[in-house]
Amino acid sequence: MQKGQAAGCFGKTLAEQGVVMQAIADSRMEIEQARLLTLKAAAMMDQVGNKAARAEIAMIKVIAPNMCCRVIDRAVQIFGAAGVTEDGGLAHGWAWSRALRLADGPDEVHQMSIAKLELRKYD
């Protein structure tokens, strides 16, 4: 954020550019959505157990790493070539968030579980 507020372009700081403001807003909303789903999954695990919270657990395993990749990708886009250097940490963060999408099975495995659990509600 400090770099975005310091750099200038067309008489405005980078953070004041409309497209950058939109990226910041989108990122904040996605982070909040993932945070709330994580809290819901944790509360369900505490209240009704892991088995009953399977869908929410699977959802967060897909949503959180994907959100992280998108947020970091937006930051890389904003900072351009500086975003992919090892100096800022964005490239490293993106690599780790991408690896998380595979750590406990690929997204598609979790999505299949979510769909099966959802369809069982209507049997």
Where are the domains positioned within the chain? 12-120
The fold adopted by the segment(s) 12-120 is: Butyryl-CoA Dehydrogenase, subunit A; domain 3 (1.20.140)
What is this structure's pTM?
A: 0.83
Tell me what the mean pLDDT of segment 79-103 comes to: 90
Q: How far apart are CA 43 and CA 101, in angstroms?
A: 23
Question: What is the structure's pLDDT at 64?
Answer: 96
* Amino acid letter, 114: I
| Cα gap 97→123, rounded to integer Å | 36
DSSP assignment string, 68-93? HHHHHHHHHHHHGGGGGSTTTSHHHH
In this predicted structure, the answer to whether residue 9 has a pLDDT above a threshold of 70 is no
Element (H, E) at 12: strand 12-13
